[in-house]
Every structure is written in structure tokens, then in C-alpha cells.
Homo-oligomer: A and B are copies of this chain.
Amino acid sequence: MAGSTGVRIARGDVRTVWIAEVWPELDAGRCAVKRVVGDTFEVSADIVREGHEALAAVLRYRTVKDTSWREAPMRHVDNDRWVGRFPLEENTRYVYTVEAYPDAYRSWATDLEKRLAAGMEVTSELLEGAALLGPALVRAVGADKKRIEECLAAVERATTSAQRARILLAEETAELVQSYPDRSAATTYDRELEVVVDRPLAQFAAWYEMFPRSQGPRPGRHGTFRDCVERLPDIAAMGFDVLYLPPIHPIGRSFRKGRNNSLTAGPDDPGSPWAIGSEHGGHKAVEPLLGTLDDFREFARAARAAGLEVALDYALQCSPDHPYVREHPEWFHHRPDGTIKYAENPPKKYQDIYPLNFYCRDREALWEELKSIVLFWIEQGVRIFRVDNPHTKPIPFWAWLIREVQTVHPDVIFLSEAFTRPKLMQAMAKVGFTQSYTYFTWRNFKSELAAYFSELTRTEMAEYFRGNLFTNTPDILPPILQTGGRPAFKLRLALAATLSSLYGTYSGYELCENAAIPGTEEYLDSEKYEIKVRDWNAPGNIKDYVGRLNRIRRGSRALGEYRSLRFYDSDDDNILFYGKQSADGADTLWMAVNLDPFEGHDARLALPMGELGLDPGDRLQVHELITDQRQLWRGPAHAIRLDPRDEPAAIFRVTPFPRKAFSDPCY
């Protein structure tokens, strides 16, 4: 039904149930919410109708491929708020809406019970009750039809009002009649909403980023996909799930950047992988120095066998040598003098790349071609794309592209690398990006971490924006890592791995690499412009720590949740205290992290005993997962000391201390 502004009410409209404030619903249904396969999806709504008659409501849902609707019952919670749930079983989009209708039988039964209680005469009411069975009889089939007939016959046979009332009010009668309700006056909510149901990896994964060309064994030699295969056991041993590669395509020669982003490249400088395209091809080709397309496919297969899924970079720009420049000059921006515009952010110039003109006259062909790049790599077995700077391309382009691809390949994951203004980052997520980079890299202090992650996981954003927390990227070596040493690398990793179900690191992190160009967040001798062959077992590395955290993640259903994050009080400003719980409440973790990489700090933690269903003074079994130590705590508070030189973070799995008989063994 509709109110004043929207659909006009017709005279005599009987669809009179008022359904409003449906949740989740983003931008009036313009954007879909996100969940993963295996989730139970909960929908609630305000449902009211005039008067005091009883209502019934159902949640209607289907996958976009289904032609018919399924239904789940909704129940009244409080204050005219109703709720229903259905299981998300398929990796696809589901559509859902709400339908409600008067429950004539229940209205009648409630009324009759009041009359009986007041000792009133009910002959007429009983006739009305029997009449309600008629329509149910028409709709019923099989055994139910027979049971309704029997019920009516019993009413007929009964000799007193009391007998008739007993039959008509019986629970069995109620169930029968309510199973075949009269829905001729049913009102359906006026929008159909969508939930994108991704595969679980879209919500729970640890990402590892590496430059394939740096994976060779010898300094100075360009690494290959075959070298990458050799690296897989080491990365898998650290417990990562996704292996993300910067662009693997041929790199342009024109205006190639040299070491440390210098304007002139030496003959052996490999150039930035983001300067895509050369005489060897463009976005659908492989840089010959890395190997062949077959080599890539072989590497991707080997990665999968090692438990790692390969993610590619989808970076929509071209080196001046890209085949598109020659074949489709109309796809680029042209200056009045006829030359093609290179990328600029005055006074900065990026002469090695041309941006595409998404608004050019031939844009339909351009958009199709760009889509075909994604489809090409899907054919090679890739299902994850990290999208470079999506916020410099039109929002509708992404809405179109992602829907086009996911309609055929619902398992494809798109990570938005939009480091930009909040609303633009949100728009990218709303139109379809599966995951998004965040401001985590620049959030170091207690209040700003709590505020930011409360926004991400406790507001409407949690419905559509999945933050993938990168500790570092080839572009960002944050100050805390530059100055905080090994303790900073440990604490930032612990935060990333536990604040979100999605996080990532860029290789070198495990070696605590922290040399920056002074006064910037840029890596010194950045891998973007040169090959860096590392000693992966260099002293001081934190590979064991990375592996331990990733194993803790894999062993915890609580850490697999994105939206159950809660912050709790600790009385020291350096110590962040927070928790996560699995949807069924069976796995509860509490994390305490010392945010100061330089000093040890003490804090008294206010334990949220209520979240375990406990009284403030109850006892807890506590298992610290990083050090594998067990403790027995008593609520409602616990004193803790975290020294960054030792362990900056603690991850406590907490369970109620069972109340057992003295004779049972207990801990």
C-alpha cells in the first residue's frame, strides 16, 4: 500500500496493512545488502492496521533465478515490530519483501475468549467461527481438508455452546485454519529488496600481497610465475587465504619510471606494473618476463592446491604503448593540441599512464571491452579482483560491471581500493563492491579505532561495506611502522586480524621492513619501481606470529563474523579492549591490545559478563590463544599488563566456568 507521496490510494482500497521501516533496506531499496552463504537472514518491519484485529505476516523471498516465492513466517516482537528469518543457502542474489494480512480466525478467537470469560451469550459468535472454516476448507488439500470437514461435523453434532466453543478454539483447529488463511486482503510491501549472498571467502580471508617479479631466488633477476610456485609453501604456512598480485601485464616502455619514481628509467628498470600495456599486449596479456599465460594458470592451480586463491589487480589505465591507444584512440582524453592526456594531479604528473575516458562517445564499446577483461581472467580461473582506484571511474560503471559479472559468476569477489572521501567509498560499496579498503592504516589510537570500527560494524555501513584491513600496501608505510619497530608490526597485525574478518598485508611486513622516504609514507626503494629479492627468513621476522594469528582466526568462528565487534571499557588509554562472538554465541573472544609499541601498560578491563549470560561476579575459563595459557577469572573486572617487547596483544577465548557437582572433575 502507499501513502500520500508515492503511489496514490484508490477509493475503497482494501490492502490496508501498513508496512514500514523494513530492515535491512538501504536507500529505499536502491542498494542491496550483503551476506554470505550459510547466514540466516533476518528481516524486520513495522506492521500495523487499524483497530485491534489480529494480523499475520510472512517474509517472502526467492533467488533472482527463482520464478516463485518462498515464505518464512514473521512473528510479532513488540510495539508492532515483526521479525522473520530465512536461510541463505546459495551464492546468488536473493530478493525479499514482506506480506501481511488480517488473521480473521485469531481475531475471532480472542474476541470469543473474552466473551466466554465475561459469561456473555455467544451463539452468534459461534456461528461466525464455524463460518470461518468454510474458506479454509475450500483452500485446504488432502488430509487437512478431511480434518476441517471432521471439525465442522463435530461442531454440527455438538449440543451445547460450550462444546462448540471448545472445538472451534482447540489448538488443532487454530493450526488448521491458520494454515489456509484468507489472504485476499493481503498487503505486500511496495518494494522488493535484495541481498547479495557471497561465498564465505568474501567475508573471511587473510590476504597476502606480493610482486611476482620479486619472487625469484637471485637479486637482480626478474622473478617468474614458476618462482612464485616455489614461494607458495612459505605463504601457505603463514596461513593466508588469498594471494593478491599487482598487475601481471606487459609494462609500457614510454616514460617508464625508474627507481624511487624517477622520471628516467635505466635500461634494466622494470617500470611500474600499473603502467599497463606494451607491444606484448594489454590487460589480457602477461608480462613476458613473468612467463606465459600457461605459466600463470599453472601457478594459480598450484596456489589453489596450497589453499591459496589468487587475486588479480584490475587497474583501468594504459601505458602510452598499450594496444588500445593505437586501436582505440577515441577511448582516451585528448588535449586541444591533439595529444592524449596523461594522468595528472597538478603539480604531479604520471606520464607513464593514460586514464581512460569513460564518457567518450564510443563508451558503450569501451565499457564492454573493460568487462571482457574481467571475463577473460575468469576464464583463466581467477575469481577475485582487487580494483585499482575505482573512485576515479564512474559509479554507474561499477554498478553495471559488477552486476553483469556476478549475474553469471556469483562467486566473483571485487575489492575496492578507494582511498578517498567517506561518502565516495560508501557509494562504491553500495553499488556492489564485495569488499573495501579502509582508513585502518591511519587509525592508531584508542578512541579513533573504537569510533571508526563502531561506524564500520555497528551502523548501516555494516550492511553493505566490508572493510578489508591492510596493515600496509606498496603505497602506504604508515608512521607507526616506520618508528615502532617489531612491536608495532605485531600489534598492528593483531589489530587487523581481529578487528575485521578480512585483512591483508603486503609482503615484507613479515620481515618488519620499515625504511621510508623521509617525511612520506612511501617505501624507500619501492618495489613499485624495482625488483626486490628478499631473504624470507631474515632475523627478526614475525612469520611465526603471522602464522599463529591466522591459525587462531581459522579456529575461531567468532573471528569469522564481521558485524559482531563490540568495544569494552579498559581504564588505560593505551589498551584497547574489544570482543567478538559467533552468531550462535558458542565462540566468544575478547581481545586486549596495547597500542603503544614503546612501553608496557597496565589496565583494568571491564568484563562484559552479560554477553555470556553471566552475572557480574561469575567465574570464567579463559584461554589466551597467542601464548596458549589458561586462566581462571572472576568478573566483573580483570587486571592485565601488556608489554609490547613481549606480547602487545592478547586473545582470550572465554567460556563460563561450569557449575558442576563437587565430585566431577572440573578444569
Contacts and interface: CB of A to CB of B under 8 A. Distances in A.
A392 B4 contact: no
A5 B18 contact: no
B11 A400 contact: yes
Given A3-B30, A430-B3, A80 B423 contact: yes
A395 B48 CA distance: 9
A5 B194 contact: yes
A387 interface: no
10 contacts: A3-B32, A9-B403, A13-B396, A48-B395, A48-B421, A48-B424, A50-B394, A111-B346, A115-B347, A124-B335
A665 interface: no
B29 A396 contact: no
A96 B207 CA distance: 46
Given A3-B27, A9-B396, 11 more contacts: A3-B31, A4-B32, A5-B192, A6-B28, A9-B403, A13-B396, A20-B27, A50-B393, A51-B391, A51-B392, A115-B347
Contact of A46 (B363, B400, B423): B423
A127 interface: yes
A396 B51 contact: no
A399 interface: yes
A191 B399 contact: no
Nearest to A128: B336
A79 interface: yes
A231 interface: no
A568 interface: no
A646 B439 CA distance: 60
Nearest to A349: B120
A393 B53 CA distance: 12
B18 A31 contact: no
Interface residues of A, number: 83
A111 B345 CA distance: 8
Nearest to A114: B346
Contacts of A29: 5-6, 28
A427 interface: yes
A400 B79 contact: no
A30 B2 CA distance: 6
Interface string A113-133: 011011010011001100100
A185 interface: yes
A645 to B, nearest CB: 40
Given A124-B335, A128-B336, A363-B12, A5 B20 contact: no
A190 B191 CA distance: 15
B421 A80 contact: yes
A6 B194 CA distance: 9
Interface string A1-44: 11111111111111110101100001111111000000000000
A66 interface: no
A194 to B, nearest CB: 4
A190 B347 contact: no
Given A5-B30, A28-B191, A396-B1, A50 B424 contact: yes
